[in-house]
Amino acid sequence: MPSSDAQALSEWVTAVARELGLEESLDSLGVVDLVLDLTSDVAHGVSRPGAPVTAFLVGVAAGRADDPAVAARDYAGKISNLAEGWAEGGESATTGPPPVRGR
């Protein structure tokens, strides 16, 4: 039996999907696990406030794709990898502004 948090989340996602007319597109996607994994990677590798913003951006990008379900999985994987590199100093060193040095 799922925990009360898991049950509440499941009910909430179902209600939101129904309200937005997305029930059918979310059934096979595993959207909850996908979003939780993505936001965890960003929150721990980049910043906590970046997690929901990143999820929104991935959703917008996936919604523009020919196959949103496939795109969401692909984009989430790419962004999770980016967040891991960011935490290790990989991508941030090449994509962010130059570091400010002490004077």
> DSSP letters along 42-87, please?
HHHHT-TTHHHHHHHHHHHHHHHSSSHHHHHHHHHHHHHHHHHHHH
- Segment 10-16 shows an average pLDDT of 90
Rounded Cα distance, 86 and 34, in Å = 19
- Residue 1: predicted pLDDT: 64
Q: Which residue carries 């696990």 as its tokens?
A: 33
- Residue 86 in this model has a pLDDT that exceeds 70: yes
| Identity of the amino acid at 76 | A
Q: 24 falls in which pLDDT band (50, 70, 90)?
A: confident
Phi and psi at 98, nearest 5°, equal -60, 145
Q: Which two tokens stand for residue 59?
A: 């959703």
Beta carbons of 69 and 61 less than 8 angstroms apart: no
Residue 89, sorted as left (phi over 0), alpha (psi -120 to 50) or beta, turns out to be left
Global pTM?
0.76
